[in-house]
Structure 1
Amino acid sequence: MTGRRTGGALLVDCLLAQGVDTAFGVPGESYLAVLDALHDVEDRLRYVPCRQEGGAAYMSEAWARFTGRVGVCFVTRGPGATNASIGVHTADQGSTPMVLFVGQVGRLHRGLEAFQEVEYTSFFDDLAKWVVEVDNAADLPQVVTAAFTIATSGRPGPVVVALPEDVLRDLTTAEPGPAVEVAEQDPTDAGVAAVQSALAGAERPVVLAGGGGWTDVGRTALAAFTEAADLPVVVSFRRHDLFDNTSAWYTGEAGVGMPPAVRETLETADVVLALNCRFGEMTTAVYTLFGTDGRPNDQQIVHMHPSAYEFGKVVTPVATLQAGPNAMAAALLAGAVPADADRARWAGWR
């Protein structure tokens, strides 16, 4: 499409350019121009209306987990945004890529305590990776590109985009940008060597896997590596789907009401290969594992994660590897499977 179109129509075209085919939301008067545009492309982009914004945000987050793509949600201003905030928080803690579009009062009414006005940068600052308010319809392509890039880069997470209603009505000749493709960071040879070194002296090793951003190929590589290395696997909070629960190498989930056998495995392991997981409240059994309670801990923790901000935040690792989960799993399978003699040391442990 070329020529002049509304900001709402341009936004929808930008989403189509990013490959979006499903969005969730609760219709609202502050983004009517977007709803009009969604109606015009309903054969290419399905808009799923929901009863409440919290449910819409949760559906978007769940859809992103199931598909591995960016979840998209639309809500109206004020209470629509506050209701949706719980889904944003879940996406943040679950490392789920998601973009929440929020209707906003017109630009000339900002700061006047307009009906249901909220300053979203402050409200969502601690819940999202990035919060932005669009000031010009022509800026929408750059904003959408940045939103999808940030949502999928490093540790995936939510982005919030506020849309003043007059921006959505304005006409513009701007064109959608290209689809975002974020390359996953590969681990270094030194990083893989650190895993090999840790396993070389291990007697009770365990893999603790979790986080977002996994693909089917990555999960297959993880399963192949742990089977070849004969390593027990614990998944972090809400990551049951990451590993075959019927596998002989599956130990359980480090989550709410952690089973005693899982806790014992994590507590008595001498080497913990933490792959793409956060050491959150549930995974640490309310901060009583991995030295988080202040007691001496001689476990060797090798922390592998796409975001360096996670390193040292909760636990003290002996080595860190900044890399994407799928690239890391493939590299471990290719270069870190221990020798027969090493595996024999922990054969009875699993």
Structure 2
Amino acid sequence: MVNLRNKKVLVTGGAGFVGSNLVRTLVQKHGATVTVLDDLFTGDERNLAGVKYQFIHGSVENKSLVNDCVKGKDFVFHLASRNIIISNYDPCGDLNVNVIGSYNIFEACLEHNVKRVVYSSTSSVYGNPQILPVQEDDPKSFLNFYSASKYSAEVYAKTFYAVFNLPVTVLRYSNIYGDYQTPSNPYCGVIGKFMAAALAGEPLKVHGDGLQTRDYTYINDAVNATIAAAFHPKAIGEDYNIGTGVQTSVLEVAQAVIKLAGSRSVIQHVENRDIDNIRNRCICVAKAMEQFQYRPVFSIEEGLKATLQWAMQLTKTSTPPVLSNSLTA
């Protein structure tokens, strides 16, 4: 039973794409008292317009600030990180935020006896898996600094649990998309870019042949899983895949977006980027379904329809679109 009413919650990275959706749900649906810690590297407070929360501008690298933010909190959702694109350009910055910053969070949570900690990791830790769908205990392969740093923080989380019994849970998200993911930020995910291009009648740029697949997860499903993981006793000390168990090619997504938008846009194939080194991704979510009743509700078709409705509303407003990255193709 999820009961967050009047509970004190810290969300790191709470002004970003996933974080802002999580904060909105925590406040408006569950009645939590939420503090957001965000350095606004990719996040934007406009993502939280209309939501009641406390904002602290700063980085998880700042140990004393982290300690102050964690003190007195019942739950901590640690989503702050450098994203996959910037990580390869600045591996040291990636290390400092994703690993050292995570250590600071775990240590502060231990010191202040936080009831539950949820750490958001990534399905990128599996690299190019040999067998699909990939399960939590399958081999890991690190094809970029982002996956290496995120898994390193996973190891620290698990060690804090093993040594100090920190009540932490690790979630490996897979290609999340949806509301508040827009292309104004250069680190935007592929679906946000496709939506904007289709609505503007511009070409949808597909890297490579477009046959690479991903397990696309609608934001509402990811948020609900994140909150559920903070309450189930079996989730403590565990890691979980959060996705749909269904793979869809980038080309199929592009075609679907054009059709749903009624757009005259065409698909334009462009060269691969340095991060386009994972051919296929599909993750097994059986563990989360069994242990804390996770159920992905949105199919890719339903998720795209919902995202398109939001994107169309966004184009009707004068507020500049804002984003934090979560998705790469």
With normalisation by structure 2, the TM-score equals 0.35
Higher relative contact order (CA 8 A, sep 6+): 2
With normalisation by structure 1, the TM-score equals 0.33
Larger radius of gyration: 1
